[in-house]
């Protein structure tokens, strides 16, 4: 039998967990998408797009996520743009995560040796075919560990949505902890929730990496 | 020979890796000034045996005597002291990559022997000029050729005044044109009466330096004797040396 | 617009004073993380199985729980429970330090494992004790290899320190929030705050790159990592 307090806590946290998932899933997907686009442009785009994307990545990697969220949620109303807490949080997560993702994508694309591309050309593949069939499958594998790690960061940093008043896992817990003044238990349990989420994500990522593994690829 | 008073003696060294026996009971007794050379096919246990001799790899069983006194290799303190007196040269040099040639030699003098900086540097200079590297002392390992690296490694070992020097294929990682300078240094050591155990594939060293040859195969010493006795037609050792000859193109001397 | 400019002008010294507190938190946390992380890395590589498992659990916990949750857990929970009466700045420094220690342990462990095995063996044959070998041979090399990853970790800790305001530590973010809520100039104030963080990150990363160059050994690099 669990005490009424813990029952209430678990109910609140489960509610929060669903909200957290509602933040994490679209943000992760959006972040990867933005990251791939920005990463490709940073690696292969013309000077103009490369400069723009480099600047984007530098800004979002060089400032704290919480500043970005504050600008989106508290700052934009100054110029007449009002975002809901959820919209502000997801936008911030996608933009920030995309900036980091683009770094891995760019690195992976540039790391594929030029002779791979030349080899494809020598066989008569077009530029697009070479990129799509030779470069991308290799780059994807190279970028995967970094990108996966970024998703794990995103899971943890989704807790920042609470700061812009979106009631997810951390927010629900904080409210209850303050109400009952039982911080240690509440935050320990919240910690376990995140540990479970992160462990699950790591498990899935390892599975994907294993599936895509090619003997001898990625060494040296 | 001084077989009555061996300077270093090991008995019944055994070692398995993951259930696979590599050494199946090897003995060795070394008189002062004696040079023993280990030969045999790779995988035969030469390198493992040499590394067991100063417990870089701890053997599964085996007994050690240094100057007839038993060495308790389970005591770290005894082991550290023992290793100071048994120097080792590796196939791939193992210079400390973050230290200059000079500091590679002075480090242990200062940390282990407690010498002050000046005395250690003086001693190191002596050893480095012995191997002909007095003008390279400020260079880092990555700036030295393979032969120079190995000579620094030898200077580093000698600076500790070891009673015995173990050499694990000291020339096999070198380009053919760089082996000569290292071989010369080893010959010099022999001339000065250094006690050595060496694994090598250099025919010239085997023939001219060995007081005794030990042919190792599958974890055992299968043949043992002087070059005169062993390097005659029909022995495994001669067969092995013939193979080395035909591989290296080095004609019989 | 003009109003915003004059507000920013007035607020800038106040925000910059906050960056000193941010710097204090980050330097303290990185130093704590260095000491803890190095010891843990040595334990994880050379320690017994029980120690390895304990350290693995520590790393798992601090890498898996959000920094925000850790701040609340320790400041309002654990530290309070232990009877420690820490200031918000001290609490943030310690929590960030313990967290970065977990990441730094991984960095240093990776660097130690990347060193050729022969380095340890060669020191042993000279009669050096295990501790002497770790201190004079292994760590000087591992630390050099770790600088790029450590620099990355620095920029993460700097950005994480912006969460210190949730405990009331008067650093950049807390001050920006204070000014913004009084003047309603949220957008320019937070942009300025972001700019300060950007410059701090850039300066720190530059300084560490310089350090890497200074301690670099000719021909020796971390190409293996």
The domains found in chain C, sorted by start residue, are 2-214 (1.10.3720.10)
For residue A156, the distance in angstroms to the closest alpha carbon of chain C comes to 5
Residue B1: per-residue pLDDT: 46
- Non-local CB neighbours of C175 within 8 Å, separated by 6+ positions: C11, C14, C15, C17, C18
Residues of chain C with confidence (pLDDT) below 70: 1, 221-225
B137: which DSSP letter?
T
- Torsional sign, CA A159, A162, A167, A172: positive
β-pair type (B61-66, B35-39): unpaired
Of C119, C125, C129, the CB nearest to B88: C125
Size of chain C, expressed as the number of residues it contains: 225
Q: Taking CB atoms and an 8 Å limit, are C219 and B140 in contact across chains?
A: yes
For the sheet containing B20-30, what is the strand order?
A: B20-30, B8-17, B61-66, B69-70
In Å, how far is C45's CA from the nearest CA of chain B?
17
The residue written with tokens 């030349």 in the block is: A118
Is C141 in Cβ contact with B90 (below 8 Å)? no
Q: Give this complex's ipTM.
A: 0.91
Tokens 């155990």 identify what position? B197
Pick the CATH number of B8-248 from 3.40.50.1970, 3.40.50.300, 1.10.10.10, 3.30.360.10: 3.40.50.300
C-beta atoms surrounding A137 within 10 Å: 12
DSSP state of B251: P
C69 → closest Cβ in A63, A68, A170: A170
Residue C8 has what pLDDT?
Answer: 84
Does A115 score more than 80 pLDDT? no
Dihedral angle of Cα C84, C86, C91, C94, to the nearest 10 degrees: -60
Helix (H, G, I), strand (E, B) or coil at B19: coil
Distance CA B106, CA A11 (A): 67
**Is residue A121 within 8 Å of residue A56, measured between CB atoms?**
no
CA distance A194 to B160: 55
Backbone φ and ψ of C174, nearest 5°: -60, -40
Residue B205: other Cβ atoms inside 10 A = 21
Classify residue A135 by its DSSP letter.
I
Instruction: Tell me what pLDDT residue A128 has.
Output: 79
Q: Could you count the other beta carbons within 10 Å of the beta carbon of residue B192? A: 10
Each residue's pLDDT tens digit, A134-176: 888 888 888 999 999 999 999 999 999 999 999 999 999 999 9
Determine which helix (DSSP H) or strand (DSSP E) holds B24, and give its type and residue range: strand B20-30
Pairing mode, if any, of strands B212-217 and B35-39? parallel
Q: How far apart are CA B241 and CA B224, in angstroms?
A: 14
Give every CB contact of residue A165 below 8 A, 6+ residues apart in sequence: A73, A85, A171
Write out chain C residues lying below 8 Å of B87, CB-based.
Answer: 125-126
* Per-residue buried b or exposed e for C112-135, using 16+ beta carbons within 10 Å of the residue's own CB: beebeebbbbbbbbbbbbeebbbe
A190 shares contact with chain C (CB less than 8 Å): yes
| Helix axis angle, B117-130 to B101-111, nearest 10° | 130
User: Domain limits of chain B?
Assistant: 8-248
Which of C167, C86, C72 is closest to A183 using CA atoms?
C72
Which position has the token pair 């309002």?
A: C76
- Cβ contact (<8 Å) for B87 and C125? yes
Measured in angstroms, the CA of C129 and the nearest CA of chain A are apart by: 33
How many CB atoms within 10 Å of residue B163? 17
| Gap between the Cα atoms of A9 and A112, Å rounded | 50
SS3 per-residue string spanning B80-104:
HHHHHHEEEECCCCCCCCCCCHHHH
Q: Assign A131 a pLDDT band (cuts: 50, 70, 90).
A: confident
Residue A55: count of CB within 10 angstroms of its CB: 10
Is C124 in CB contact (< 8 Å) with chain B? yes
Number of residues that this document lists for chain A? 220
Q: Which of C65, C148, C169, C172 to mutate to test the interface with A (most CBs of A within 10 A)?
A: C65
- How far, CA to CA in Å, does B78 sit from each of B50, B74, C122? 19, 8, 18
Q: Where are the domains of chain A?
A: 4-212
Q: How confident is the model at residue A125 (pLDDT cuts 50, 70, 90)?
A: confident
- The verdict on a CB contact (< 8 Å) between C66 and A78 is no
pLDDT of residue C9: 87
Rg (alpha carbons) of chain C, rounded to whole number: 21
Question: Is the pair C, A in contact (3+ CB pairs within 8 Å)?
Answer: yes
Contacts of C177 in chain A (CB under 8 A): 70
- Residues of chain C with Cβ-Cβ distance to B102 below 8 Å are none
- pLDDT, averaged per 10 consecutive residues of chain B (253 residues), comes to 75 93 94 94 92 92 94 91 93 92 94 93 96 94 94 95 95 91 94 95 89 94 92 90 76 42
* Chain C residue numbers touching B88 (CB-CB < 8 A): 121-122, 125
Specify the pLDDT at position C224.
40
Per the rule left: phi > 0, alpha: psi between -120 and 50, beta: everything else, B221 is: beta
Closest C-alpha to A121, from A140, A134, A111: A134
CA nearest to C7, candidates C215, C200, C185: C185
Task: Tell me how long chain B is.
Answer: 253
Question: From the CB coordinates, do chains C and B have 3 or more pairs under 8 Å?
Answer: yes
In the complex, which subunits touch A with 3 or more CB pairs below 8 angstroms?
C
Spell out the residues 6+ positions from residue A41 whose beta carbon is closer than 8 angstroms to its own.
Answer: A49, A50, A52, A53
- The superfamily CATH assigns to domain A4-212 is MetI-like (1.10.3720.10)
pLDDT band at A1 (very low <50, low <70, confident <90, very high): low
Considering only the beta carbons, identify the residue of A78, A157, A185 that sits closest to C66.
A157
Interatomic CA distance for residues A42 and A101, integer angstroms = 12
Provide the token pair at A84: 């809901």
CB C121, CB B90: distance < 8 Å: yes
Give strand pairing partners of B65.
B9, B70
- Quick check: A71 and C187 CB within 8 A? yes
Q: Which chain B residue lies closest to C215 (C-alpha atoms)?
A: B98
Token pair listed for B122: 């003086």
Distance CA C14, CA C172 (A): 9
Mean pLDDT of chain A: 91
């Amino acid at each position: 039998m669990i005490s009424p307090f813990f029952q209430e806590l678990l109910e609140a946290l489960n509610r929060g967990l669903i909200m957290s998932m509602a933040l994490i899933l679209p943000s992760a997907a959006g972040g990867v998408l933005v990251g791939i686009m920005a990463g490709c442009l940073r690696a292969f785009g013309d000077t103009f797009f490369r400069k723009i994307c480099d600047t984007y990545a530098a800004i979002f990697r060089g400032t704290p996520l919480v500043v970005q969220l504050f600008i989106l949620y508290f700052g934009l109303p100054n110029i007449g743009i009002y975002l809901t807490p959820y919209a502000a949080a997801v936008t911030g997560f996608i933009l920030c995560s995309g900036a980091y993702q683009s770094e891995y994508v760019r690195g992976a694309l540039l790391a594929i040796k030029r002779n791979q591309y030349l080899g494809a050309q020598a066989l008569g593949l077009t530029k697009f075919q070479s990129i799509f069939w030779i470069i991308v499958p290799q780059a994807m594998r190279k970028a995967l560990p970094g990108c996966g790690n970024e998703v794990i960061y995103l899971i943890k940093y989704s807790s920042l949505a609470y700061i812009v008043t979106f009631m997810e896992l951390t927010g629900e817990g904080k409210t209850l902890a303050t109400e009952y003044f039982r911080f240690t238990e509440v935050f320990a349990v919240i910690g376990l929730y995140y540990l479970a989420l992160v462990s699950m994500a790591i498990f899935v990522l390892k599975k994907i990496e294993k599936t895509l593994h090619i003997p001898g690829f990625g060494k040296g | 020979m001084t077989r009555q008073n061996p300077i270093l003696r090991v008995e019944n060294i055994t070692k398995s890796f993951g259930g696979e026996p590599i050494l199946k009971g090897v003995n060795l007794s070394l008189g002062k000034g004696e040079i023993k050379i280990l030969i045999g096919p790779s995988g035969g246990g030469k390198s493992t045996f040499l590394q067991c001799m100063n417990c870089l790899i701890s053997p599964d069983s085996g007994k050690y005597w240094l100057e007839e006194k038993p060495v308790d290799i389970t005591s770290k303190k005894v082991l550290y002291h023992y290793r100071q007196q048994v120097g080792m040269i590796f196939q791939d040099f193992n210079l400390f990559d973050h230290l200059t040639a000079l500091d590679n030699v002075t480090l242990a003098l200062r940390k282990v022997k407690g010498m002050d900086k000046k005395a250690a540097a003086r001693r190191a200079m002596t050893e480095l000029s012995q191997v002909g590297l007095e003008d390279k002392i400020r260079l880092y390992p990555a700036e030295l050729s393979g032969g120079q690296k190995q000579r620094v490694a030898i200077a580093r070992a000698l600076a500790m005044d070891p009673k015995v020097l173990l050499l694990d294929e000291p020339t096999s990682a070198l380009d053919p044109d760089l082996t000569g300078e290292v071989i010369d240094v080893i010959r010099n050591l022999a001339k000065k009466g250094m006690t050595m155990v060496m694994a090598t594939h250099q025919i010239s060293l085997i023939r001219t330096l060995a007081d005794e040859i030990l042919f190792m195969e599958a974890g055992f010493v299968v043949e043992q004797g002087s070059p005169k006795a062993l390097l005659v037609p029909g022995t495994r050792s001669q067969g092995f040396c013939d193979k080395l000859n035909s591989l290296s193109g080095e004609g019989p001397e | 617009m003009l109003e915003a400019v004059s507000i920013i002008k007035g607020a800038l010294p106040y925000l910059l004073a906050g960056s000193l507190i941010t710097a204090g938190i980050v330097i303290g946390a990185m130093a704590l993380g260095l000491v803890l992380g190095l010891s843990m890395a040595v334990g994880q590589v050379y320690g017994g199985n029980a120690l390895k498992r304990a350290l693995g659990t520590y790393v798992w916990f601090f890498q898996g729980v959000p920094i925000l949750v850790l701040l609340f857990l320790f400041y309002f929970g654990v530290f309070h429970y232990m009877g420690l009466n820490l200031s918000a700045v001290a609490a943030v420094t310690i929590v960030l330090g313990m967290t970065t220690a977990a990441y730094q342990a991984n960095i240093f462990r990776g660097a130690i494992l990347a060193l050729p095995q022969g380095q340890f063996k060669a020191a042993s044959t000279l009669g050096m004790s295990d501790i002497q070998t770790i201190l004079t041979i292994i760590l000087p090399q591992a630390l050099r290899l770790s600088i790029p990853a450590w620099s990355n970790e620095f920029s993460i800790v700097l950005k994480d320190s912006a969460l210190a305001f949730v405990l009331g530590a008067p650093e950049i973010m807390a001050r920006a929030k204070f000014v913004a809520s009084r003047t309603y100039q949220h957008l320019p104030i937070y942009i300025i705050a972001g700019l300060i963080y950007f410059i701090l990150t850039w300066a720190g990363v530059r300084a560490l790159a310089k350090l890497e160059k200074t301690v670099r050994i000719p021909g020796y690099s971390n190409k293996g990592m």
